[in-house]
Amino acid sequence: MGTGIRVSRLTGVLGARADGVTLCPDIDPAEVSELRAALVEHEVLVVPGQALSPGAQAGFSHLLGDYSPVPFVQPVPEHPEVIKVVKEASEPEAFNFGGVWHSDFSFLDAPPAFTVLHALDVPAVGGDTVWASMTAACDQLPDDVRETLEQVTAVHSASASYSPAQQGLHSGLSGMDIRTSEAAHDTREHPILVTHPETGKRSLFFNGTYIRGLRGPGIGDGTEAGATQERKLLRWLHDFTTHVRFTFRHRWSNGDVVLWDNRTTQHGALNDYGGERRELNRTTVAGPTPAA
């Protein structure tokens, strides 16, 4: 028997909406399977009209996998798996958390598979989030670039975001407790061309925020020519992967839960709601180490 969940696509590339379901920690396993299948197929899944407490959001997230540790950002008191993404109306000039193209914590050995973001108090207009499909971008890679990328790994690090030099930026957000540290300089290499562990589809694992370098034959090899190639390819990859033809943009309403597959998408939040408050709760679900 069907679950009653209705899934409808929101663009021709990525993004779908699920209606007819109430998210909670003891949701029917058949509904979890259906939501998970829609999530990995469409990469971003919007579930409107939800009312999850922080504990219930963590409980629901566990149905998709284990908790994925959150570095640098302190959790909500009494809910160690939940972080609050909040910018107050009085902080129009403050840095927008998640406001540049990235995939969550790609600098970890095992970055999160999924992120779950629940809108609690969002502006009437503005503060949309935009995702780009790295599966669609991978499908359209020119052959010569694909051949090059098969031999390239990316060096991920949180240094540009969470090293102590960035503390002033984060301290402008009164509702978030972000503690930078020297550990942000740690680096991890992941392949750029990866295979999704559930769908078997090829995808790019690229984002311009946490990828600080590339390594491959004649690229990032310590020579001047290698450094030039590295810079050129990083710029090309950023421009190509974030092209509007690969994107889906969500306009938030209070109660929305949006889940995304962090392994096959990049995202960024827009900072165009000066003078209004924006508050969402976020949980992350563990994933495997990216594999070519």
Positions touching ligand SIN (CB under 6 A) are 85, 97-98, 104, 115, 129, 267, 269, 280, 282
Give me the least distance between CB of 85 and ligand SIN, in Å please.
5
Is 91 or 104 the residue whose CB approaches ligand SIN more closely? 104
Which residue is nearest to ligand SIN, using beta carbons? 98
Nearest to 278 by CA among 256, 249, 245: 256
Is 115 or 159 the residue whose CB approaches ligand SIN more closely? 115
Give me the least distance between CB of 230 and ligand SIN, in Å please.
26
Q: CA torsion sign, 84 to 44 to 32 to 104?
A: negative
Is 97 or 162 the residue whose CB approaches ligand SIN more closely? 97
HEC per residue, 191-253: ECEEECCCCCCEEECCCCCCEEEEEECCECCCCHHHHHHHHHHHHHHHHHHCCHHHEEEECCC
Nearest to 43 by CA among 131, 157, 149: 131
Asked if 258 and 128 count as a contact pair (C-beta separation under 8 A), the reply is no
20 conformational bin, left if phi > 0, alpha if psi -120 to 50, beta if neither? left
Give me the least distance between CB of 69 and ligand SIN, in Å please.
15
Is 149 or 248 the residue whose CB approaches ligand SIN more closely? 248
Nearest to 46 by CA among 23, 69, 64: 23
Q: How far apart are CA 205 and CA 134, in angstroms?
A: 7
Is 126 or 226 the residue whose CB approaches ligand SIN more closely? 126
Give me the least distance between CB of 122 and ligand SIN, in Å please.
9
Give me the least distance between CB of 174 and ligand SIN, in Å please.
16
Tokens of 233: 């390819």
Give me the least distance between CB of 268 and ligand SIN, in Å please.
7
Asked if 256 and 119 count as a contact pair (C-beta separation under 8 A), the reply is yes
Is 132 or 269 the residue whose CB approaches ligand SIN more closely? 269
Is 95 or 193 the residue whose CB approaches ligand SIN more closely? 95
Give me the least distance between CB of 270 and ligand SIN, in Å please.
8
Q: How far apart are CA 146 and CA 152, in angstroms?
A: 10
